[in-house]
Amino acid sequence: MGQTKPEYLQPYTSAAPSHYLRHKNGWPHFITFVLSFSSDDAPSMPFLRKRLEDMQVRYPDTRLSLVERPRPESHTLYWSPVSWHQQDDAWPINHILQELDSAPASSLDAYRIAIHLAEQRSLVDCPLFVVHRLVGPRQTFICLSVSHTLTDGIGASNMLRAIIEPELEQFSDESQKGFFNGNLGKPPQVAPLKPYEPFKPDIKGENRDDLAKKDAPIWPASADDFKIHPSSDLPSQFVDVHFSADTIKSLSTKAKSVQIATLNTVFLSTFVMAVIEVMGIKDRRLQSVVPVSFRKKAENPLFFGSFTTALDIITHCTPKTSTWSFIREFSVPANKQVAEAIEARQKPKVDDDRKTKSPVFDAESAMQRDLDRLKSDAAYMDSIVWSNLARLSWLDNVHGCNDVLWGQSTAMFFAPICMSVVGWKGGMRSVCGFKEGSGFTSEQVATIIARWEEIVQEAVDADVKGDVLDVP
């Protein structure tokens, strides 16, 4: 292939601050998909090997790795040492494909195994994705784990499709290029052509060490800088929740009758309601952090076209007698507009007191907002990372697939809860991850999930015609 040159990664993404990318086994964050097959129908190792070889030729970004660049001696401001490097040659298949006789008992067990294996991988100088074939006595699970620094849930599902779906000719939105690297450096929001410096204080003649002693908005140097420590050394708790097609149909009908634009609001608000009740949060605010990315039109079915900051949805809701009153209160107009914009793959507006002239997004002020939130005592415990995918209709073309899960490692950002949703056979599957040591015992997690299922059933059973009259 032609000569490649390193391209700089814009370090401030919705997935993780750049500092954590430097920790080879620090706080990696992965998206993991699990497909379940009967053992007779599961894709074979030769099939997977061939598809992974083809994918790396077709989509050169699958050969990207993260590398660290030393700070030049002359550089005294803030420095992001992380950059992209694209391999000339494909990754050796034994680096990205493994088969294990792990005998998972369920899709959730396979998910736990895959997440654990992915988190043992370095995020630097290695492939940013890995495929595991987990073989059990009756079921075989195909697991794809992708670093969130490489792509998001939609991109990862497209990667899975490129590996699994037989005779896939092209994605519906795929251009002739079909990959992200060709767009690097064209519009400035895609990737800067120089090392990224998100904050430049108006102080002259001082070096980085002096600035670090001031209250400069830089990312914490270590976990010790957090007021409340994320518990990265304790196992995470994952729970699999399934809502049937009949439940989804009923919720959808009732949501439309009270002018709620999306079921995302219903799922997230009912989950928040359960957390509030079980944990006794009551009037404290909860925020959901939504990882958002935007592709450049039809040019990249797999990879980021640009980056944006995490998006906050803040609610002051308190539990009410009526479930739908709570859902409706949660679904304030601004939140509905945000949800609709996300579903339409449009960039939501970001409030910025600095009145930046940038038409895309001001990383400096966005970083400052996030740092201000990090300094808040309530910010950490009151955060939920929420991600959703629509029904993956292409799975209908995959013979023998009998289950699908997807979720994220709970190393995501600073939140103690990650909640991922995907449509499946008309219903909904959700993987909820809780960080142990972050205020959630296993008993509380079980109680939250049980209460969530009860609240959803209450929403299904409710007569919503007169149920939300007390909500403006």
**Residue 25 pLDDT exceeds 80:** no
**Residue 52 pLDDT exceeds 80:** yes
- pLDDT score recorded for residue 124: 54
Greater model confidence, 178 or 134? 134
Greater model confidence, 157 or 456? 456
Mean of pLDDT values over 417-442 = 82
**Residue 460 pLDDT exceeds 80:** yes
Where are the domains positioned within the chain? 7-193+209-225, 236-466
Query: Band of the pLDDT at 6, cuts 50, 70, 90?
Result: very low
CATH 3.30.559 describes domain 7-193+209-225: yes
Mean of pLDDT values over 405-420 = 74
pLDDT tens for each residue of 79-136: 445 556 677 888 999 999 999 987 899 999 999 899 888 877 765 567 889 999 999 8
Query: Band of the pLDDT at 309, cuts 50, 70, 90?
Result: very low
Mean of pLDDT values over 272-287 = 68
- pLDDT score recorded for residue 318: 57
Its pTM stands at 0.70
- pLDDT score recorded for residue 394: 82
- pLDDT score recorded for residue 244: 93
**Residue 441 pLDDT exceeds 90:** no
pLDDT tens for each residue of 340-388: 454 444 444 444 433 333 333 444 454 455 455 544 444 444 567 777 7
Per cent of the chain over pLDDT 70 is 49
- pLDDT score recorded for residue 288: 55
Mean of pLDDT values over 267-290 = 70
What does the H/E/C string look like for the chain?
CCCCCCEECCCCCCCCCHHHHCCCCCCCCEEEEEEEEECCCCCCHHHHHHHHHHHHHHCHHHHEEEEECCCCCCCCCCCCCEEEEECCCCCCHHHHEEEECCCCCCHHHHHHHHHHHHHCCCCCCCCCEEEEEEECCCEEEEEEEEECCCCCHHHHHHHHHHHHCCCCCCCCCCCCCCCCHHHCCCCCCCCCCCCCCCCCCCCCCCCHHHHHCCCCCCCCCCHHHCCCCCCCCCCEEEEEEEECHHHHHHHHHHHHHCCCCCHHHHHHHHHHHHHHHHHCCCCCCEEEEECCEECCCCCCCCCCCEECCCEEEEECCCCCCCHHHHHHHHCCHHHHHHHHHHHCCCCCCCCCCCCCCCCCCCHHHHHHHHHHHHCCCCCCCCEEEEEEECCCHHHHHCCCEEEEEEEECCCCCCCCEEEEEEEECCEEEEEEEEECCCCCCHHHHHHHHHHHHHHHHHHHHCCHHHCCCCCC
Query: Band of the pLDDT at 293, cuts 50, 70, 90?
Result: very low
- pLDDT score recorded for residue 346: 47
Highest mean pLDDT among 65-79, 375-389, 407-421: 407-421
Q: Which fold has domain 236-466?
A: Chloramphenicol Acetyltransferase (3.30.559)
Over the chain, what is the mean pLDDT? 65
- pLDDT score recorded for residue 411: 60
Across 59-73, 124-138, 385-399, 431-445, least confident range: 59-73
pLDDT tens for each residue of 461-471: 988 764 454 44
Greater model confidence, 470 or 76? 76
